[in-house]
C-alpha cells in the first residue's frame, strides 16, 4: 500500500468515527434532561409525557436498555407519590411500610408502597424506591432467599402501546407448613432520568408483586397489564 493510500484510508476512518460519535451523542441527548415533559408525536395516546431510561441491571448497561415514556414523573425531581391511586380500572391505596429496617438499611430518598385492586378482587403490590445511594437497591431475590423461599429468576418483555420494555421476573414460593404454601411473581426494572445514569440524579426501581392467580402465566399477564397503566411506549 502506498503512503497516499494509507493517508486516504486514515482520513476515511477518522470521518466515520466522527459520524458515529455524533449519532451516539445525538441519541443520548434526547434523554439528556430526564424528568422534563416530552410531547409524543404519534399514536392514539399522543399525550405529553416523561421519558426515562429503563434497564434490568442497575450496575451495568445491558442490551435490554430502553427509553420509556410515562405520563408520570419517575425521577427524584418529582414526587413518586404523585402517581394516581386510580389507574384505569385499578384502585390503589397506600400501605405504610411498618418494617423500620427497610428505612434503616436502604435509606431511600423516596418510598412508595401501594396495593392496587381490580373490581374482580385481584390485586398487585406496587413498590417505588428512589435514591441517590447504591445501598438503597438490591435484588428482591436476596430477601426471598434469606427468608427461605425457593426462587427462579429470568427476564421478560413487557409490551406497551408502542414498543416493549424489558423487566426482571422473579418466581418465589415457600412452604408455610400444615399443607399450605405461598407463591409470588415479582416483575421490576430500574429507571434513570438520562442515559448518563448519573448517581447524583438518582435512580428509581419500579416493582410489581402479585400472588399466583390460576397460573404463573396468568399472573404475569396481569402484571404486564398493570405496567401498561404506568408506561405507554418504549424504543
pLDDT at 208 over 90: yes
Mean pLDDT for all residues in the chain:
82
pLDDT at 150 over 50: yes
pLDDT at 221 over 90: yes
The pLDDT confidence band at residue 19, using thresholds 50, 70 and 90, is very low
pLDDT at 186 over 50: yes
Q: How far apart (Å, rounded) are the C-alpha atoms in residues 152 and 171?
A: 5
pLDDT at 206 over 80: yes
Using a cut of 0.85, tell me whether the model's pTM lies above it: no
Q: How far apart (Å, rounded) are the C-alpha atoms in residues 12 and 18?
A: 10
Strand duo 233-234 + 123-131: pairing: unpaired
pLDDT at 226 over 50: yes
How many beta carbons lie within 10 A of that of residue 36, not counting itself? 13
| Alpha-carbon distances of 34 from 2, 21, 22, 195, 206, rounded to whole Å | 50, 21, 20, 9, 16
For 174-193, what is the mean pLDDT?
A: 88
For the segment 40-68, what is each residue's pLDDT rounded down to a tens digit? Answer: 433 334 345 899 999 999 989 999 999 99
CA-based max dimension of the chain:
84
For 11-34, what is the mean pLDDT?
A: 45
**Residue with more model confidence, 126 or 144:** 126
pLDDT at 57: 92
DSSP code, position 215: B
Contact between residue 36 and residue 50 where contact means Cβ atoms under 8 Å apart: yes
Among residues of the chain, what percentage have pLDDT more than 90? 58
User: Virtual CA dihedral for 129, 133, 134, 136, nearest 10 degrees?
Assistant: -40
pLDDT at 99 over 90: no
The pLDDT confidence band at residue 165, using thresholds 50, 70 and 90, is very high
Amino acid at each position: 500500500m502506498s503512503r497516499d493510500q494509507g493517508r486516504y484510508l486514515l482520513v476515511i476512518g477518522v470521518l466515520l468515527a466522527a459520524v458515529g460519535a455524533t449519532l451516539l451523542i445525538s441519541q443520548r441527548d434526547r434523554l439528556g434532561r430526564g424528568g422534563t415533559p416530552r410531547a409524543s408525536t404519534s399514536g392514539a395516546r399522543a399525550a405529553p409525557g416523561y421519558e426515562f431510561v429503563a434497564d434490568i441491571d442497575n450496575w451495568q448497561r445491558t442490551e435490554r436498555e430502553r427509553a420509556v415514556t410515562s405520563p408520570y414523573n419517575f425521577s427524584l425531581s418529582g414526587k413518586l407519590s404523585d402517581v394516581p391511586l386510580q389507574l384505569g380500572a385499578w384502585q390503589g391505596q397506600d400501605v405504610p411500610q411498618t418494617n423500620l429496617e427497610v428505612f434503616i438499611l436502604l435509606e431511600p430518598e423516596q418510598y412508595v408502597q401501594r396495593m392496587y385492586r381490580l373490581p374482580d378482587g385481584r390485586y398487585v403490590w406496587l413498590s417505588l424506591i428512589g435514591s441517590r445511594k447504591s445501598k438503597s437497591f438490591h435484588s428482591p431475590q436476596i430477601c426471598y432467599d434469606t427468608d427461605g423461599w425457593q426462587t427462579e429468576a429470568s427476564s421478560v418483555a413487557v409490551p406497551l402501546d408502542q414498543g416493549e420494555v424489558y423487566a426482571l421476573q422473579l418466581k418465589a414460593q415457600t412452604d408455610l407448613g400444615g399443607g399450605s404454601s405461598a407463591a409470588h411473581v415479582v416483575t421490576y426494572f430500574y429507571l434513570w432520568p438520562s442515559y448518563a445514569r448519573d448517581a447524583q440524579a438518582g435512580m428509581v426501581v419500579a416493582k410489581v408483586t402479585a400472588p399466583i392467580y390460576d397460573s404463573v402465566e396468568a399472573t404475569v399477564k396481569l402484571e404486564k397489564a398493570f405496567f401498561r397503566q404506568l408506561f405507554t411506549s418504549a424504543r
